[in-house]
Homo-oligomer: A and B are copies of this chain.
Amino acid sequence: MTKLASTSPRRGPKPNLHTRDNLMLAGLRMFHTTGYTATGIKDIVNAADVPKGSFYNHFESKEVFGKEVVDFYFSNALPDIKNILEAKESNPIDRLRNYFESRMDCVRENGYSRGCLMGNFSLEVADHSELIRESIAEHFQTWKSLIESCISDAKAKGHIKNQIESPQLAEFILNSWEGALLRMRADKNEKPFDDFMNVIFNLVLA
């Protein structure tokens, strides 16, 4: 421990921060394609091409690393989500439609594989790590708020006439999106997306 501490990022920040970034990028890629349990620390260290002992210089445990990777994943996604959903010059319903269509471009590119890391961790890790679960729950909340703003905007403009409140509609849409992603992983086609778009934009946001 003492020996490891002497190479901590505070004493030689540049190379160590680089190592940390490489670990995060490798971890994100591997957790997303292979899964949390199937990816060992040794695999991550090898993929990041960093010295074997360096992992514990930066992260206390695989669990802490997993939480940091989920945070990193969501903070990377956030600018794109905001860019589309907060584009106030467009009609709020169009913003929502654009957002899901842009996500679908990604899903299609990945051959209906990988899905959403937060969804994956919800099923694979959340029952077993309170630390990671709390982090995912918080990010879902932030994501939902951005969808909710569009819906409130559309309600204020009279584009949505139903009586269900914006927060409930936003939660429902977010969860249904995760469900559509899940089903695309099983079926390997985009029918779940077509059904999602059809029902959400013709019945739920009407």
Chain A positions within 8 Å of B, measured between CB atoms, are 33-35, 37-38, 113-115, 118-120, 122-124, 126-128, 133, 136-137, 140, 162, 164, 168-169, 171-172, 174-180, 182-183, 185-188, 191-192, 195-196, 198-199, 202-204, 206
A139 → chain B closest CB, angstroms: 9
Q: What number of copies of this chain does the assembly contain?
A: 2
CA distance A66 to B130 in the complex (A): 27
The answer to whether A182 and B187 touch (CB under 8 A), given A35-B124, A38-B37, A114-B127, is no
A127 adjacent to B140 (CB under 8 Å)? no
Complex partner residue of A164 from B120, B122, B169, B199, CB under 8 angstroms: B199
A164 adjacent to B35 (CB under 8 Å)? no
CA distance A115 to B128 in the complex (A): 13
Interface SS of A by simple majority: helix
- In the assembled complex, 5 residue pairs joining A and B whose CB atoms fall closer than 8 Å, in A order, are A119-B182, A120-B124, A137-B188, A171-B183, A172-B196
CA distance A192 to B179 in the complex (A): 12
- Interfacial chain B residues near A128, Cβ < 8 Å: 34
B185 adjacent to A122 (CB under 8 Å)? yes
CA distance A195 to B33 in the complex (A): 31
B140 adjacent to A187 (CB under 8 Å)? yes
A126 → chain B closest CB, angstroms: 5
The answer to whether A124 and B127 touch (CB under 8 A), given A140-B186, A177-B179, is no
- Interfacial chain B residues near A37, Cβ < 8 Å: 35, 37-38
- Interfacial chain B residues near A137, Cβ < 8 Å: 186-188
Q: CB-nearest residue of chain B relative to A205?
A: B203
A126 adjacent to B171 (CB under 8 Å)? no
CA distance A78 to B186 in the complex (A): 19
- Interfacial chain B residues near A164, Cβ < 8 Å: 198-199, 202-203
CA distance A202 to B118 in the complex (A): 29
